[in-house]
Amino acid sequence: MSKARSKAAGAAGDASNRLKNLPVDRILQGDCISVLNRLPEKSVDVVFADPPYNLQLKDTLHRPDNSKVDGVDDAWDQFSSFQAYDRFTQDWLDAVRRVLKDTGTLWVIGSYHNIFRVGHALQNLDFWILNDVIWRKSNPMPNFRGTRFTNAHETMIWAAKSADARGYTFNYHALKTMNDDVQMRSDWLIPICAGKERLKDGDKKTHATQKPEALLYRVLMASTKPGDVVLDPFFGTGTTGAVAKMLGRHFVGIERETAYIKAAQKRIAGVEPLDADVLSYTTGKREAPRVPFGQLVERGLIRPGEVLVDGRRRYTAKVRSDGSLIADRTKGSIHQVGAAVQGAPACNGWTFWHVEKRGELMPIDVFRQQLRGEIH
């Protein structure tokens, strides 16, 4: 670890053209590593980094309706190999480490394509992981070919400068208040960036991977105080800057592309900082848990092979391992089979089907209620 650290430390460059004071609430144009190397050391409270994910997309993907998916094919996301990506990652992480205060923390966001490279590298550089936080997307893009699980989340790593770093900011009570007085968990349900918030040039997205402000809101509420400085080395269209300004924090943005910088400047200029007393009213909304029937089976509340019967004992059906039912000539969901055996157009399987316990019939909805109670 220390070997990697000292080697990369050389990348910090000479201190000759180093700035004495941190330029604040500005976007600095250039390659993030060389710009970072010009900034004064230990001057930044928090770094939020959204580096290229190195997606390695191959062919074009079409939706079932034949429309084309507009994938990320920007030049900035192209790397020749894992090695090249690892070197890049180590270099910017090391440059970040120098400008971060000893009490500072680092956030990095990524997907399975790159996050294991990033996590590995930052642990090697002695960063100390405080949490990994899952951004659960309420509206992810589906998997169109039915080949995998819907890729419905991204991962953030939150880390301090070292295992024995003390005094980092974590606004525990503010987050708990935001979360209806329950501790904030490591999984966050937040929609993707769309609608008015999404920056466009005509009908084209300005940036392929603009992050939602709600995500940065929670990150900054958790790990910064008003007046703190947040640095974003992959500034893009400036979500970090916009939210920082709104929340009364300072930002430093680093970005190469002129088009992104212009869009970010315009966007941030339009942001009105909030009064401090307003901030405390924002709360996280709670999701209403949907409980699929298959979950009752998976959890053992209903066993595969168990026989369900309707309230008047006219029809029966047997539970299969995937949570579907099988009856005379039909199989399908609890609703489909319930409808089919009755010859009805539709049926609410939750109230239609029952389990027999000691001669008594119990609607399966009872088990769903039980599961909901456990979840929340």
Partner DNA sequence: GGCCACTCTGAATCGTATG
Partner DNA sequence: TCATACGATTCAGAGTGGC
Q: Considering only residues 153 through 192, tell me which ones interact with DNA, judged by CB under 7 A.
A: 154, 163, 166-167, 172-173, 176, 181-183, 191-192
Q: How far is the CB of 16 from its own copies (least distance, A)?
A: 35
Per CB under 7 A, 143 contacts DNA: yes
Q: Which is nearer to its own copies, 15 or 278 (CB)?
A: 278
Per CB under 7 A, 346 contacts DNA: yes
Nearest to 61 by CA among 148, 175, 165: 148
Nearest to 43 by CA among 28, 59, 22, 64: 22
CB distance 210 to 198 below 8 Å: yes
Task: Report how far apart, in Å, the C-alpha atoms of 293 and of each of 296, 325, 354 are.
Answer: 5, 10, 13
Q: How far is the CB of 263 from DNA (least distance, A)?
A: 15
Q: Which helix (H) or strand (E) segment is 105 a member of?
A: strand 100-110
Q: Which is nearer to DNA, 252 or 347 (CB)?
A: 347
Stretch that binds DNA, among 225-233, 252-260, 267-275, 278-286 (CB under 7 A): 278-286
Q: Which of 78, 131, 209, 316 contacts its own copies by CB under 8 A? A: 131
Q: Considering only residues 244 through 263, tell me which ones interact with its own copies, judged by CB under 8 A.
A: 247
Per CB under 8 A, 170 contacts its own copies: yes
Residues 6+ apart with CB under 8 A from 206: 199, 200, 237, 259, 260, 263
Measured at the CA of 120, the angle between CA 118 and CA 125, to 5 degrees, comes to: 95
Angstrom distance (rounded) from CA 228 to CA 220:
10
Q: Kindly give the residue spans of alpha helices, DSSP state H, lying in 204-280.
A: 213-223, 239-246, 258-269, 276-279
Q: For tokens 């009064």, name the residue.
A: 275
Q: Considering only residues 8 through 37, tell me which ones interact with DNA, judged by CB under 7 A.
A: none
Q: Which is nearer to its own copies, 87 or 331 (CB)?
A: 331
Q: Which of 45, 50, 228, 255 contacts DNA by CB under 7 A? A: 50
Angstrom distance (rounded) from CA 120 to CA 14:
27
Q: How far is the CB of 81 from DNA (least distance, A)?
A: 11
Q: Considering only residues 53 through 72, tell me which ones interact with DNA, judged by CB under 7 A.
A: 53-65, 67, 69-72
Q: Considering only residues 205 through 224, tell me which ones interact with DNA, judged by CB under 7 A.
A: 205, 208-210
Q: Which of DNA, its own copies, none does 322 bind, CB closer than 5 to 8 A by kind?
A: its own copies
Per CB under 7 A, 3 contacts DNA: no
Q: Which is nearer to its own copies, 27 or 315 (CB)?
A: 315
Angstrom distance (rounded) from CA 285 to CA 185:
13
Per CB under 8 A, 333 contacts its own copies: yes
Q: What are the beta bridge partners of residue 137?
A: 190
Per CB under 8 A, 7 contacts its own copies: no
Two structure tokens written together for 330: 């039909």
Angstrom distance (rounded) from CA 366 to CA 360:
13
Per CB under 7 A, 348 contacts DNA: yes
